[in-house]
A and B are shown apart, each in its own frame.
Chain A
């Protein structure tokens, strides 16, 4: 039976912690609005994906064990990121599968871990979170949401409940934004070529606001839009759903 008021451990993600705490607070607000008790375990730092994708399997496995321990005892683990949720949900099993102690614990954690919009819609049955945000917006599906977690409909359903918000679909929505973690720094020219196609597609919609569920993509896209002088606001979908309009948009200054 599903607990009436489940205890949710928030996996903040290292990027949100460092770059954009507003997203973390927005997630807390949304989870509480959906009837959850939210805690933030202190043992968490990063899901281990940078090491995993760099080929440091032992390092990634060590981090995975830390995270398994830190999030034991919660009914659910929720991350405002498809990438980090996908890491815990799908890749921890590959990393710790051989480990007789941690393998089963990682598998149990995987079953309880969700990306934020996926959790709100699929687990908590939220039809919309209310709110008001008058803007023409478009939505970028991160590769991890789209292909690892198969999350596509959930954010759109939640955004449909935001008063004043019009959602315009992005052409070539299946295409990667070119972030890819260390890829963007190791192969910056290729990465830039890919994000240029993405920002051109975004501009072609006529949207004034670009939303996504992964901060990595958002930093990449915001950085490119700004450099090219395109006046399109960039925010995490949780900020809009929680109505957190106080902080400047990603990459936007205070004056």
Chain B
């Protein structure tokens, strides 16, 4: 997927002005945020489960080589094939090869952010293979020619009326009299269409929420059951996953599942939890004849050895997006790449380079709500601040803010000079703003004063009054 993170300023301004998007985002706040809080409150051990989930992911990352090798050996033992891919191009080529080998014409897909990361759909389409998204949200945005704007709710930015329009445009044989006013009728329409696609597909591609080292199983969770049809009906099932998805045991999966759905949607469990271990065995009544696992690095090993390692714990629940005031204001597309919200602001610079996404770590009030809701306790504000340190040291991003910061530090370390200057400024501004109490325009904060007043200082500073023993 092409990255446009460097156009964050323009994209966020567009998002703020998009009334339909704003309407969709308001829905998110009332829904996911509230339900997650309720689900967490209902489970007394929720916070200790978060500790346990973090420990599992840390253990897996600490010995990633060991667990990946064990996972790969188990996959092969059960008759599957593992493909190790160092970057997006390699992963695309491997998947295309498998599809061509089977003479595939259509490919059904379960929801996968990694497939967005490597730009799989465009690649397959360019080579004459039609990819069909089967997750309802993904299906909608595929029809609209868009990318996901949320980790688990890819079409969160689309209103119901826009979905109906997209269906009528794409399903040209649709009876114009058929009502598409209700979510249920939209779902039925999508289901009708997808049913034929499931049956006709030659290859099914899914992501993975977990790779289990102990058994060589891959695990996905869905609410629609589309993943099951995607992976059991075609001739081959391809699992595409980042290497950080591996966990040691099935027991570990069970632990993390207890925080995953609660953090994501407020459900206790997702509706479907599907484990896949190898291809169809002799005597199995269904299942794919071939089972491939494509393991993707694409910068993850580099992150593992960096200060951003903790971001690899992410289980893609989306809780940090839902609670983030910036994400709530601008949605996911403005972040300019696959991953949005606080976790995206940490991951995108790691995957693309900070110079390609200089705004993302800066565009945060560091309010800390993301870390508070993260089921694996990723210290997102600390990692965002760490990117700011990298930017400051490498002179990436606005030079003005660097100059202002350096000047401030210089002055703040000279209390006498500081008091002299701020004393004058406070008196001046205090006098100028005395009658009104606030400024409607300030040249050095014109962005602020465009929509907000700036309260005037009271007049003389605290320190000058205190030193002269003045007390009110």
Query: What is A's interface to B at a CB cutoff of 8 Å?
Result: 12, 14, 16-22, 24-25, 28, 40, 42-46, 48, 50-57, 59-60, 62-63, 66, 94, 143-144, 147-148, 172, 174-176, 178-195, 219-220, 222-224, 226-227, 244, 246-248, 250-255
Contact across chains for B438 and A22 when beta carbons are under 8 A apart: no
Is B16 an interface residue, CB under 8 A from the partner? Answer: yes
Q: Taking A148-B368, A190-B329 as given, write out 15 further A-B residue pairs in contact, using a Cβ cutoff of 8 Å, ordered by the A residue number.
A: A21-B462, A54-B388, A55-B387, A56-B389, A56-B402, A62-B413, A66-B413, A147-B368, A175-B369, A180-B366, A183-B365, A184-B365, A186-B447, A189-B12, A222-B453
Is B355 an interface residue, CB under 8 A from the partner? Answer: no
Query: What is B's interface to A at a CB cutoff of 8 Å?
Result: 12-13, 16, 29, 323, 325-326, 328-330, 362-369, 371-372, 382, 385, 387-393, 398, 401-402, 405-406, 408-409, 411-413, 415, 418, 422, 425-426, 433-438, 440, 445, 447-448, 450-458, 460-463, 465-467, 471-472
Contact across chains for B437 and A252 when beta carbons are under 8 A apart: yes
* Residues of A close to B452: CB separation below 8 A: 192, 195, 220, 223-224, 226-227
Contact across chains for B437 and A185 when beta carbons are under 8 A apart: no
Given A183-B365, A188-B447, are A59 and B406 also a contact pair (CB < 8 Å)? yes
Given A54-B388, A54-B401, are A253 and B434 also a contact pair (CB < 8 Å)? yes
* Residues of A close to B408: CB separation below 8 A: 46, 50-51
Given A55-B388, A227-B451, are A190 and B326 also a contact pair (CB < 8 Å)? yes
Contact across chains for A12 and B457 when beta carbons are under 8 A apart: no
Instruction: Identify whether the interface residues of A are mostly helix, strand, loop, or mixed.
Output: helix
* Residues of B close to A52: CB separation below 8 A: 385
Contact across chains for B329 and A223 when beta carbons are under 8 A apart: no
Contact across chains for A179 and B365 when beta carbons are under 8 A apart: yes
Contact across chains for B330 and A190 when beta carbons are under 8 A apart: yes
* Residues of A close to B466: CB separation below 8 A: 24, 40
Closest A residue to B368 using CB positions:
A147
Closest A residue to B397 using CB positions:
A55
Contact across chains for B454 and A22 when beta carbons are under 8 A apart: no
The answer for the CA separation of A165 and B364 in the assembled complex, in Å, is 35
Give which listed residue, A21, A144, A185, contacts B458 with CB less than 8 A. A21
A234 to chain B, nearest CB (A): 8
Contact across chains for B425 and A18 when beta carbons are under 8 A apart: yes
Please list 21 pairs of residues, one from A and one from B, whose beta carbons are closer than 8 Å in the complex, sorted by A's number: A21-B461, A25-B462, A51-B405, A63-B413, A176-B369, A178-B365, A180-B365, A183-B364, A189-B16, A190-B16, A190-B330, A190-B363, A192-B451, A194-B328, A195-B452, A219-B455, A226-B455, A244-B472, A253-B434, A253-B438, A255-B435
The answer for the CA separation of A144 and B456 in the assembled complex, in Å, is 24
B163 to chain A, nearest CB (A): 25
Given A17-B463, A54-B405, are A186 and B362 also a contact pair (CB < 8 Å)? yes
Contact across chains for B472 and A246 when beta carbons are under 8 A apart: yes
Contact across chains for B385 and A22 when beta carbons are under 8 A apart: no
Given A186-B401, A226-B453, are A51 and B409 also a contact pair (CB < 8 Å)? yes
Contact across chains for A53 and B455 when beta carbons are under 8 A apart: no
A71 to chain B, nearest CB (A): 13
* Residues of A close to B13: CB separation below 8 A: 189
Contact across chains for B415 and A183 when beta carbons are under 8 A apart: no
The answer for the CA separation of A215 and B29 in the assembled complex, in Å, is 27
The answer for the CA separation of A45 and B16 in the assembled complex, in Å, is 37
Contact across chains for B415 and A45 when beta carbons are under 8 A apart: yes
* Residues of B close to A182: CB separation below 8 A: 401
Closest A residue to B371 using CB positions:
A147
* Residues of A close to B463: CB separation below 8 A: 12, 17, 40, 42
The answer for the CA separation of A202 and B405 in the assembled complex, in Å, is 33
The answer for the CA separation of A143 and B457 in the assembled complex, in Å, is 24
Interface-centre pick from A40, A94, A143, A172 (highest chain B CB count, 10 A): A143
* Residues of B close to A60: CB separation below 8 A: 409
Contact across chains for A175 and B457 when beta carbons are under 8 A apart: no
The 10 closest A-B pairs by CB, nearest first: A180-B365, A188-B447, A55-B392, A55-B388, A253-B437, A59-B409, A176-B367, A21-B462, A251-B455, A223-B452
Closest A residue to B389 using CB positions:
A55
Given A63-B409, A176-B369, are A187 and B455 also a contact pair (CB < 8 Å)? no
* Residues of B close to A255: CB separation below 8 A: 435
* Residues of B close to A16: CB separation below 8 A: 462
The answer for the CA separation of A252 and B433 in the assembled complex, in Å, is 10
* Residues of B close to A187: CB separation below 8 A: 12, 326, 362-363
Contact across chains for B367 and A42 when beta carbons are under 8 A apart: no
